[in-house]
Chain A
Amino acid sequence: MDYILIIDNLTKTYKGHFKALDNLNMRIPKGSIYGFVGRNGAGKTTLIRLITGLQEPTDGEYCLYGSWNTDTAIEKSRRRMAAVVETPSLYLDMTARQNLESQCMVLGLPSCESLDDLLDLVGLSEAGSRKVRNFSLGMRQRLGIAIALCGDPDFIILDEPINGLDPQGIIEVRELILKLNHEKGITFLISSHILDELSRLATHYGFIESGSIVRQISAPELEAACRKAQRLRVSSTKVLCMVLDRLGLEYRVVDDSTCDVFSAFRATDLVNALDKEGCLVESIAEKDESLEGYFISLVGGKSNE
């Protein structure tokens, strides 16, 4: 698999003792929409600040499009990247079009011919000559994405892109991201804690807790992990497996005493069959896990610190 971003043991310490990132490892596949999930203060924005060059890591390294952060070539690789970190970076006293022109100059683009297309793409063609100061949050977010798209990047980082947006704004941003990913093959790294929304977009997930990635998983793997099932707690999973095989039911062993059964079954038949084999059924409970449930089970249900 081709990775556009490889992060190895990245550490960031503030004021000599607070570790915002602690030996973090991550791989972002090319063409993916990578959902970056974590609590407030888990280290999401810190990681984004490091890979966008706003801050330098204390230890460890990362490789962007084949260039390590310690090489001078990283600056060239960054030209293939764009980001909207926290809030869109816009000159409020300029119009939307002037903001795009300004970014074209930063990128050294010879002409600004594609600006109308960009404004059209993000649904701001009617607002191009309006001052950004008068824009709604959703419009600013979309303009921020348009600015990110100015240099035709292959990789876009969005930090909390739907924070504060109304439902219509959320749908518009989601559709824009999917369109760019499908039509232009742009890879996205999206940090968010609105998990329901993220689950509609992401093809891969990385879960961060206390500055470290606790799991990376693809969307199909997550779907399998979150599949609707009956969770059985029994005295012997060995006997349970034997009975489930005999009944032709699909299942997955979780641990020595727990098993998830995905196929539909009559509880009485299964309990009787297990009873005959001398296996006690301690509980049967429905398990219907969402991304949110998966995240909580992964990092624990502690409140934000």
Chain B
Amino acid sequence: MSKLLRQGFFRLRKNLVFYLCILFMIGFAILRLVTSYQMKVEYGYQIDIGEMLFSATLLLGIVASVFSGLFLGTEYSDGTMRNKLIVGHGRLSIYLSSLVVVTSAILVMFFSYFLVILGIGSILFGFTQVPIALLLLNSGSVVLLCLCYGALLTMLGMIVQNRAVGAVAAIIVCIVLLSAGAYCKARLSEPEYYDGYVFTSNEGTAAAQAQRNPNYLEGTKRERWQAALDINPAGQGFELMDFSAVYPIRLPFYSLALAIMLTMLGIMIYRRRDLK
């Protein structure tokens, strides 16, 4: 597999889409810094770069799906996967090497953003006040989140033989995951009570007590929605970006378990595939 990895990274270094994705992430980081700096200068806001460090986890899935759809799809559309199979490389090695290369690319994309925020952000706003342990935990979770996205996108890229279909499918899956994550997050963020109010007019004063929100999730139902948010890689993105995870320790384990399951499923399908 080392031969395939060497070739995969060689190809990655020559891949224009990869560099465009990195540029996009750096551009996003600069945009975040510029808008935050404006708020600091114009309104005197106190900015902590910790609030920005992990914002890219939201975009990561979409950017990675664009990259992987084109990167892996080329292997089918240009037929280059045949060059590996014909000379005796096993399908397992081809699959796993693709997984490693795609995951590495996603990590590089994320850390391009992260390092720009950390480097320039520290100069502009000072170092973050977020505890180091939490930063490290979040960073570790992001690494496994990248692996999870890598596994998902490699599976799609390796089982869909048409590059256009594969690329579109990867983007759609990531958008669906993001939408599902946003919905779960919104449901879980519902307040338990609507605030009470006091209304005063010429005719007198009316007061309403705080009312219970019927949409508030609690008990087992809340646990299920929380699990759905935690398992969904895009849902994890929502939690990691603002350190709002209820069970932060669980996130990397969910990512790892999902990555293993997706990889096993992908390998099983890919090994049975009749390639053209």
Interface residues, chain A, with chain B CB atoms under 8 Å away: 14, 49, 52-56, 74-79, 81-83, 85-94, 98, 101-103, 105-108, 147, 151
5 more CB-based (< 8 A) A-B contacts, given A54-B276, A82-B87: A75-B88, A81-B87, A86-B276, A91-B78, A108-B2
Q: Are B83 and A147 in contact (CB under 8 A)?
A: yes
The secondary-structure label for the interface of chain B is helix
Expressed in whole angstroms, the minimum distance between the Cβ of A159 and any Cβ of chain B is 11
Which residues of the other chain, B, contact A86 by a CB distance below 8 angstroms? 79, 276
Q: Are A76 and B88 in contact (CB under 8 A)?
A: yes
Closest Cβ neighbor of A51 among chain B residues? B86
B274 on interface, CB distance cutoff 8 Å: yes
Please, could you name 22 A-B residue pairs with CB atoms under 8 Å apart, sorted by A? A14-B274, A52-B86, A54-B82, A55-B274, A75-B88, A75-B89, A75-B90, A76-B88, A77-B88, A78-B87, A81-B86, A82-B86, A82-B87, A83-B82, A89-B78, A89-B81, A92-B78, A93-B15, A94-B11, A102-B10, A105-B7, A106-B4
Among B3, B82, B84, B275: residue with most chain A CB under 10 A:
B82
Q: Are B87 and A49 in contact (CB under 8 A)?
A: no
- In whole angstroms, what is the CA distance A147 to B82 when docked? 12
Q: Are B82 and A52 in contact (CB under 8 A)?
A: yes
Q: Are A105 and B276 in contact (CB under 8 A)?
A: no
B209 on interface, CB distance cutoff 8 Å: no
Expressed in whole angstroms, the minimum distance between the Cβ of A7 and any Cβ of chain B is 17
Expressed in whole angstroms, the minimum distance between the Cβ of B9 and any Cβ of chain A is 9
Q: Are A106 and B78 in contact (CB under 8 A)?
A: no
B221 on interface, CB distance cutoff 8 Å: no
- In whole angstroms, what is the CA distance A75 to B90 when docked? 8
Which residues of the other chain, B, contact A105 by a CB distance below 8 angstroms? 3, 6-7, 10
B85 on interface, CB distance cutoff 8 Å: yes
- In whole angstroms, what is the CA distance A90 to B11 when docked? 12
Which residues of the other chain, B, contact A78 by a CB distance below 8 angstroms? 86-88
Which residues of the other chain, B, contact A81 by a CB distance below 8 angstroms? 86-87
Expressed in whole angstroms, the minimum distance between the Cβ of A105 and any Cβ of chain B is 4
Contact A55 to B275, CB < 8 A, known contacts A76-B88, A107-B3: yes
Q: Are B274 and A54 in contact (CB under 8 A)?
A: yes
Q: Are B10 and A101 in contact (CB under 8 A)?
A: yes
- In whole angstroms, what is the CA distance A108 to B276 when docked? 24
B16 on interface, CB distance cutoff 8 Å: yes
Closest Cβ neighbor of A75 among chain B residues? B88
Across the A-B interface, the 7 shortest Cβ-Cβ residue pairs? A78-B88, A89-B79, A105-B7, A75-B88, A108-B3, A54-B275, A55-B274
- In whole angstroms, what is the CA distance A52 to B11 when docked? 23
Expressed in whole angstroms, the minimum distance between the Cβ of B272 and any Cβ of chain A is 9
Which residues of the other chain, A, contact B276 by a CB distance below 8 angstroms? 49, 54, 86
Which residues of the other chain, B, contact A75 by a CB distance below 8 angstroms? 88-90
Which residues of the other chain, B, contact A89 by a CB distance below 8 angstroms? 78-83
Closest Cβ neighbor of A76 among chain B residues? B88
Closest Cβ neighbor of B4 among chain A residues? A106
Expressed in whole angstroms, the minimum distance between the Cβ of B153 and any Cβ of chain A is 20
- In whole angstroms, what is the CA distance A128 to B152 when docked? 37
Expressed in whole angstroms, the minimum distance between the Cβ of A299 and any Cβ of chain B is 25
Closest Cβ neighbor of A108 among chain B residues? B3
Which residues of the other chain, B, contact A54 by a CB distance below 8 angstroms? 82, 85-86, 274-276
Expressed in whole angstroms, the minimum distance between the Cβ of B57 and any Cβ of chain A is 29
Q: Are B6 and A94 in contact (CB under 8 A)?
A: no
Which residues of the other chain, B, contact A83 by a CB distance below 8 angstroms? 82, 86
Which residues of the other chain, A, contact B10 by a CB distance below 8 angstroms? 101-102, 105
List CB contacts (< 8 Å) of B1-37 with chain A.
2-4, 6-7, 10-11, 14-16
Closest Cβ neighbor of B70 among chain A residues? A93
- In whole angstroms, what is the CA distance A160 to B258 when docked? 44
Closest Cβ neighbor of B11 among chain A residues? A102
- In whole angstroms, what is the CA distance A105 to B2 when docked? 9
Which residues of the other chain, B, contact A56 by a CB distance below 8 angstroms? 274
Q: Are B87 and A151 in contact (CB under 8 A)?
A: yes
Expressed in whole angstroms, the minimum distance between the Cβ of A19 and any Cβ of chain B is 14
